[in-house]
Amino acid sequence: MADESQQSPLFRIDLDETVGADLEGMEDAEDTRELLRQLVIGQERQNELLEDLVEHLVASSRQRAHELGQWRQQNPQLARKCRQAAEAISRIQTEFLEQLTEEISCNSEALADGDFLLNEFVDRFGPRLAHLNGVAQVLSQLGSAPTNS
């Protein structure tokens, strides 16, 4: 079965080139060919736009990596401290996640049943988790080993 699906195309159009001699059949065939031409033109344009988008994203990513590399070269001691801080914040984040998951497992029914308790839980853990994630991400980016590009 797998061999059959690999051999058959996902999308297949058969054009009957032996359309009858009547004018209506010929007009239908021409309409179909014109619609197919338009589809192909639209698909080619979409592919061009996707290629442009990928080029833009790759260029932005390379520029950002280059800027981070320059910053690390200009601030090697601070980059090392950021790496150490990222490791420390990662341990703190792990401990925080353990507390959070323990709270959920102990109070899962109450959290599911009561809006007040759920809101209290989100207020208690949500902002701290979001801020920890943001700080950890910045520190890990600034402290990461430079990549050779």
Residue 129 near residue 96 (C-beta atoms within 8 A): yes
Mean pLDDT of the chain: 84
Give the position of tokens 């209290």.
120
Phi, psi of 98 (to 5 degrees): -65, -45
From CA 4, how far away is CA 20, in angstroms rounded? 33
Single-letter amino acid code for the residue at 128: R
Label residue 2 by pLDDT band (50, 70, 90): very low
Number of H helices, E strands in the chain: 4, 0
- Coil/strand/helix, residue 132: helix
Q: Structure pTM?
A: 0.58
Band (66; pLDDT cuts 50, 70, 90):
very high
144 phi, psi to nearest 5 deg: -70, 155
pLDDT mean over 39-61: 96
